[in-house]
Structure 1
Amino acid sequence: MTTFRLAHLSDLHLTPPARPFQWADVTSKRLLSRIAWRRKRHRHLEPVLNAITASIRERAPDHVAITGDLINFATPEEFEAARQWLTGLGPPSDITVSPGNHDALVRRDAPDAFAPWAPWLSDANEEAFPHLRRRGPVAIINLSSARPTALHLAQGSLGSAQIERVEAMLRSTGEQGFFRIVLAHHPVASGVVSNRKALTDMASLQAVLARAGAELVLHGHAHEAVLNRVAGPLGAIPVLGVPSASTPAGLAGEQAARWNEIAVSRDTKGFRVQVATHGVTRDLSVIKMGEYALI
C-alpha cells in the first residue's frame, strides 16, 4: 500500500525586508498594517519558522502545502523575499501556495496574480484560479481567497467564476479516483473566525462541496489548530486548519507553531488518512504532539 505524505503549514508572516519610504503607503492600508506589525511582531519569529521548516525537511514529505499569508504588506520587496524563501524550501513542483489576505493587502505596487510565486501556484503558470496539481493518488485543488479589503477587514472571497471552475475540477478528479485536497487561506467551515475575517462566499463553496465532494479541505488564517467538517455527497468532509508556522511557544492567547503531516493511503476499502501533528517548543525543538486517524 503506497502512502502519499503531505506537509501542511500556514501563515508564515515572514519578517518584512527594509522598504524605502513611500508616500503612497501612508495613504493606504499598509500604514495601519505596519503599525500593527510593530506591536505584534514578537508573535512571528524567523527562528521559529526555521525550526518548523527544518522539521519538514527532516520528514521529507512528498509535497508541501502552504495556505497563505507568507508576507504582511504585499510590497514588491516582500514578494521577492518570499520567492527566495520558497526557492530555499524546495522545488516548485513539490510545493503549493494558496495566497492569503496579507499577500493581497493592497493592489498598489503589488505584482499582478502573485506573479513572483507563479511556479508554486500551478503547473501550467496560469493566472486564473483555481489551479489543479496531480501528485500520485492526490489531486490538489488550489484556490485563492486573497482579495484587497477595506481598513480593519481581513475577509476573503472566491468569486462566482472560481467557484464554478472548482466544481468542474472536483467532479472530474473525483470521477478519475483521485483523493481531492482543496487548499484555501480562509476557513471553509462556519464559526472559525469572526465575520470581519470570514470568507464572504463560504456558503457558495459549501454548496459546491456538498454537490461535488472532496476528501479534505486545508486552510489557515485563524492561527489555530482546528478540525471541522462540512457536508459532502457521501458524508462529512474534514476541514483542517493549523496555527501560524512562526509563532513561538509560551505566548499568552497564542497557539505555538505547528505543522501537520497528512498521510494518504489506499486499500481495498478506500482511502485512509492519518494526521501527525508536529509543534515547536520553547527551546525551538519540534516534537510530535499527537497522531490520529482522519478518515
Structure 2
Amino acid sequence: MFRLAHISDIHLGPLPGVTYRELASKRVVGYVNWQRNRRRHMHDAVIDTIVNDLKASAPDHLAVTGDLVNLALDGEIEMARHWLETLGSPHDVSVVPGNHDAYVPGAFDKSCRSWAAWMTGDDVNTPVDRHSFPYLRVRDNIALIGVSTARATAPFMANGFFREGQAQRLGRMLDATAERGLFRVIMIHHPPVRGAVSQYKRLFGIALFQKIVRRHGAELILHGHSHDPSLFFIGGRGAKIPAVGVAAAGQGLGDRHPPAQYNLIDIDGDKGNWQVRLTRRGLTGPALPPSELQVFELGADAEASRQLVRS
C-alpha cells in the first residue's frame, strides 16, 4: 500500500516587511486583504498542528498543491523554501504552484528557482520554469504528475490557465505512465471542474484539461484553491476520475471556510484493480487536535464511491 498525503493553500505568515514600491502593483489589493481578513484566519500555529498530525500518519509522499505564500514577496518565497525543508526530503514532497505564488509578473520565475527541488521531475537536470510542467515523479507504482496553472493576473482576479502546450505534454505523459501500469495522480492548483469556485477564481482551460484526461485517462486528481474539501468526478476513458479538493492548511476557526484539513489517500492493488481510500483529517475546535472527519472508498464513479464515516 502507498499512502499519499495532500495539503494546499498554506498562505504562510506573517508577511515580511513590505515597501511602498512593492505595493505599487496588484500587491496593494492582497496586502489590504491580508490585513483585513487572512491575518485573522490564517495561522502558522494551525499549519504546525496540521503538519505534525500529518507526519504522525507516516505518509510515503506529500503533495502540496499551491499557494504557499500570499503576495509572492521575495522574503515570502525564501521563507516558503525553508518551510518546505521542514516537511522532508524533496524526494518525498512534490509541489505545484498556485496563483498566489505567481502573484505579480516575475514572481512565478522566482518561485520556480527557489522551490525547484520540489518541482523537478525524475532525472531532470534543467532549470525549472513554466515549460517544465507537467513534471513526472514515480514512487513505487505511483506516477505523480505536477501541472501548473499559475500566472500573474489583474487586481481582484485569481484565475488559472491551462493551455495547449502543457496539455499535449500531459497527454503524452499519461499515455506513457499508463503503459507502465502506474496509478496516475495529477496535482493541480485550480479545480479543473466547473462551479467549484467563483468566476474570478476559475480555471481557463477546464474543457481542455477534461478533454485530455478523458482521452488519456488518470486515476486521481488533487487540487486546492477553493479552500473547501470537495469531491468531483470527471468522465474518463472507461471510468470517472475523482478530483479531490482540501481545506486550506492554515485556515483557523471563524471563517466561512472550514478550518484546516489534510487528505490521506491510501492506494493499493494494481492496474485495473486499484483500491483507493480517502481520509480527511482536520480541526474541529480551537483546543482540539486534528481528528478523522470523513472516510471515502473511491470507486470508478460517484455511485461506486462510498462515504464510510462522517463526524
Q: Is the structural similarity TM-score above 0.5?
A: yes
2:16 maps to amino acid: A
Structure 2: stretches of 5+ with no match in the other structure: 300-311
- Counterparts in 2 of 1:216 and 1:13: CA distance versus 1, 3 Å: same
Q: C-alpha distance in 1, partners of 2:18/2:229?
A: 37
Q: CA deviation at 1:243?
A: 0.7
Q: CA deviation at 1:272?
A: 0.6
- Counterparts in 2 of 1:109 and 1:276: CA distance versus 1, 3 Å: closer
Select which of 196, 207, 212 maps to 1:208.
212
Select which of 74, 98, 101 maps to 1:100.
98
Q: C-alpha distance in 2, partners of 1:36/1:284?
A: 28
Q: C-alpha distance in 2, partners of 1:240/1:102?
A: 20
Q: CA deviation at 1:114?
A: 1.5
Q: CA deviation at 1:19?
A: 2.5
- Counterparts in 2 of 1:267 and 1:18: CA distance versus 1, 3 Å: closer
Contact 2:174 2:218 in 1 (8 A): yes
Q: Aligned residue for 1:34? A: 31
Q: Aligned residue for 1:257? A: 260
C-alpha distance after superposition, 1:3-54 (max 9, x if no partner): 000000100000044235242x232011110011001111211111100000
Select which of 71, 85, 89 maps to 1:91.
89
Q: Secondary structure at the match of 1:64?
A: strand
Correspondence list, 1:217-232, <5 A: 217-232=221-236
Q: Secondary structure at the match of 1:80?
A: helix
Superposition RMSD in Å: 1.5
Contact 2:102 2:111 in 1 (8 A): no
1:274 lines up with 2:306 in the alignment? no
1:146 maps to amino acid: A
Q: CA deviation at 1:110?
A: 5.9
Contact 1:181 1:218 in 2 (8 A): yes
Q: C-alpha distance in 2, partners of 1:45/1:162?
A: 34
- Counterparts in 2 of 1:269 and 1:179: CA distance versus 1, 3 Å: closer
Q: Secondary structure at the match of 1:222?
A: coil
Q: C-alpha distance in 1, partners of 2:27/2:102?
A: 11
Q: Aligned residue for 1:167? A: 171
Q: CA deviation at 1:281?
A: 2.7
Contact 2:163 2:208 in 1 (8 A): no
Q: CA deviation at 1:195?
A: 1.5
> What TM-score does the superposition give when structure 2 sets the normalisation length?
0.90
Contact 1:75 1:110 in 2 (8 A): no
Q: Aligned residue for 1:190? A: 194
Q: Secondary structure at the match of 2:259?
A: coil
Q: Aligned residue for 1:241? A: 245
C-alpha distance after superposition, 1:127-168 (max 9, x if no partner): 221100001110011001000001111000022111110000
Q: Secondary structure at the match of 1:289?
A: strand
> What TM-score does the superposition give when structure 1 sets the normalisation length?
0.95
2:30 maps to amino acid: S
1:286 lines up with 2:286 in the alignment? no
Q: C-alpha distance in 2, partners of 1:200/1:277?
A: 28
- Counterparts in 2 of 1:49 and 1:125: CA distance versus 1, 3 Å: farther
Q: C-alpha distance in 1, partners of 2:292/2:92?
A: 23
| Count of residues in correspondence between the two structures | 291
Correspondence list, 1:77-88, <5 A: 77-88=75-86
- Counterparts in 2 of 1:74 and 1:252: CA distance versus 1, 3 Å: closer
C-alpha distance after superposition, 1:74-94 (max 9, x if no partner): 111111100000001100010
Contact 2:99 2:158 in 1 (8 A): yes
Q: Secondary structure at the match of 1:204?
A: helix
Q: CA deviation at 1:268?
A: 8.6
Comparing 111-120 with 31-40, which one deviates more in the overlay?
Answer: 111-120
Structure 1: stretches of 5+ with no match in the other structure: none
Q: Secondary structure at the match of 2:115?
A: helix
Q: C-alpha distance in 2, partners of 1:109/1:199?
A: 19
Q: Secondary structure at the match of 2:208?
A: helix
Correspondence list, 1:56-205, <5 A: 56-108=54-106, 111-112=109-110, 114-123=112-121, 124-126=124-126, 127=128, 128-205=132-209
Contact 1:143 1:183 in 2 (8 A): yes
Q: C-alpha distance in 2, partners of 1:108/1:133?
A: 26
